[in-house]
Amino acid sequence: MAITLATLADAIARANAAMSGLTDVLNAADAKLGDGDTGTMLARLIGTFAAVDVRNAENLGAGFMALAKAGAASTGSSLGTLIITAMMTAGKATTGKTELAWPDLSGLLAAIRYAAMARGKAELGAKTIIDGLDALASSLAGKTDAAGAAIAAEQAMDAVLAEFRNRPSAMGRARMFAEKSVGLDDPGMLALAEIVRTLAKTTQHGATPVA
């Protein structure tokens, strides 16, 4: 099986359902050094994605672009814009394609990581969502099916959070609190990890599609 519009729509629906429990968790993580609105913003953005009729898009590229377009009207936050950048990158990479093979997902995530670095003027190692994307892309290299990808992705998220937790932030608002950021998860990286964990768990356990 490959990644199709149905897979994408199902993943968005699962992530959207998970946000009811994640919003406060992510807001609390962000409130330690930031505005405390990461969960709220992400819930709004994923809710916007969920309202898009991705399942009936012309192809994967069109589906991702529809998500990017909807997201562009939803948020102006840095993290939100990086997610929109990810959707645009995926849209360009899958233009005209009706499916993406699981072994190609790693390369797509690597492309998204590069695009996010360029958009956010960020470097690897700065303790941001980009480090999470890098770990995710690496973990999926050589994975040929959903179950294998899910196990690897979940492990990668645990590992990257642990690796960066005790490092100082070097990017964005948190860099101004570099010492205080030691011992804390980056809210963007944590958001990625929580969404990946949600999708990985439901994939491993053969969840029924939410929508």
Partner 1 sequence: MKKLINDPANYVDEMLDGLCLAHPGLVRVGDDRRAIARSTKMRQGKVGVVSGGGSGHLPLFTGYVGKGLLDACAIGNVFEGPTINSCQDAIAAANGGAGVLCLFGNYGGDKMNFEMASEFAAMDGVETRTVLGTDDIASAKPEESQKRRGVAGLIFAYKAAGALAEQGANLDEVATIAQKTVDRTRTIGVALSSCQIPGAAGPNFTIADDEIEFGMGIHGEPGIWRHKIRPADELVDEMISLILAEKPDGANRVAVLVNSLGSTPFEELFILYRRAAQQLDAAGLTIVNPLIGPYVTSMEMGGASISLCFLDNEIEPLLAAPADCPFWKVG
Residues contributing to the site for partner 1 (CB under 8 A): 31, 35-37, 41, 72-78, 80-82, 84-85, 119-121, 172-173, 176-177
Give CA–CA dist 197/70, Å, rounded.
24
With residues binned 3-state (H G I as helix, E B as strand, rest as coil), the percentages for the chain, rounded to 5, are: 70, 0, 25
Give CA–CA dist 166/155, Å, rounded.
18
C-beta closer to partner 1: residue 30 or 154: 30
C-beta closer to partner 1: residue 57 or 83: 83
C-beta closer to partner 1: residue 36 or 107: 36
* Nearest of 192, 166, 173 to residue 32 by alpha carbon: 173
Min dist CB 109 to partner 1, Å, is 20
C-beta closer to partner 1: residue 13 or 122: 122
Min dist CB 16 to partner 1, Å, is 18
Min dist CB 29 to partner 1, Å, is 14
Min dist CB 181 to partner 1, Å, is 12
